[in-house]
Amino acid sequence: PRIIAAKYNTSCVKADQYPEGDTVEIAFLGRSNVGKSSLINSLCNYRGLALVSGQPGKTKTINYFDIESKEDISETEERRYNWFLVDLPGYGFAKTNKGNRNLWSSFIADYILHSERLMLLCLLIDGRHPEMPIDKVAYDWLVEAGVPLQIVVTKADKLTAKEKSANLAKIKEMYPTDTPPILYSSLKHTGRELLQQRINTVLVG
Ligand code: GDP
C-alpha cells in the first residue's frame, strides 16, 4: 500500500471545528522538534505538506490532511481508500514571556477525548532521546485514555547500530504496545513502507 495523494484540508483548535463526515483518522503526536513534520512529508512523499519549522513549539493547531492510499490486491485489482492524517500540536515546549515551559496543549486532550473516528495514534519518540519524562507522561495519558498506539522512533539515521539496538530496547520497555516500534528516518525514508503497511492494516485490514 502507498499514499498516492495528500492535500491540506483544515486547521482547528476546538471540537466544533473538526471536519464533519465519517472519514477515519490516523493522528501523529510527539514532542516539539521530534521530527513530526518531516515524517509526515516523508510518509506522504510530499515535501511541503507539513511545515518543517526548525522553530520548536510553532504548530499550535490541529491540522487535517486528506489522504488517498492505494493497495494492489492482485495484478489486476487495486483498492483505494481515503483517510484523514491528523497532525496534532507538538508538546513539551512553549516560548512564553516567562521563558520556556512545558506544555501539553489542551487541544490534544480535547481531540483525543472527542474524536470518534481516530483509528490509530502514532506517538513519535526521538531515537536519540528515548527517556524523556514528558514522552512517558504523554504515553501514560494515552494508554489511560485507551488510544490505539503505534510508536514511531524518529531520526534513525542519526543513530549508530549500537545506539539503535540499545535505544529500541529501552523504548520497547518504556512504551509497550501491541505492535513493535517502527524505526523511521525522514531523511532516508527508512520505515516508510512499514508505517504505510501498519496504517493500511488498521484502516482496511
Ligand atoms: P517537528 O517540530 O516535530 O515538526 O520537527 P521537524 O520535522 O520540524 O524537525 C525538527 C528538526 O529535526 C529539523 O531540523 C529536521 O530537519 C530534523 N529532522 C527531522 N527528521 C529527521 C530525520 O529523520 N533525520 C535527520 N537527520 N533529521 C531530521
Contact (Cβ atoms closer than 8 angstroms) between residue 121 and residue 148: yes
How much is the pLDDT for 104? Answer: 73
pLDDT over threshold 50, residue 82: yes
Closest ligand 1 atom, CA of 38?
A: 7
For residue 77, what is the enclosing H or E element?
Answer: none
Q: What is the pLDDT of residues 68-78, one digit of tens each?
A: 999 999 999 99
Q: What is the pLDDT of residues 101-141, one digit of tens each?
A: 556 778 899 999 999 899 999 999 999 999 999 999 999 99
CA of 188 to the centre of ligand 1 (A): 12
Query: By alpha-carbon position, which residue is closest to atom 15 of ligand 1?
Result: 35
Query: By alpha-carbon position, which residue is closest to atom 9 of ligand 1?
Result: 35
Q: Confidence band (pLDDT; 50, 70, 90) for 61?
A: confident
Kindly state if the Cβ of 42 falls inside 6 Å of ligand 1. no
Q: What is the mean pLDDT of residues 178-195?
A: 97
**Dist. CA 166–CA 196, nearest whole Å:** 25
Other beta carbons within 10 angstroms of residue 165's beta carbon come to 11
How much is the pLDDT for 37? Answer: 93
Q: What is the pTM of this model?
A: 0.94
pLDDT over threshold 90, residue 6: yes
Residue-averaged pLDDT of the chain: 90
- The separation between the first and the last C-alpha atoms of the chain, rounded to the nearest angstrom, is 12
Ligand 1 pocket mutation, candidates 38, 108, 126, criterion most atoms within 8 A of CB: 38
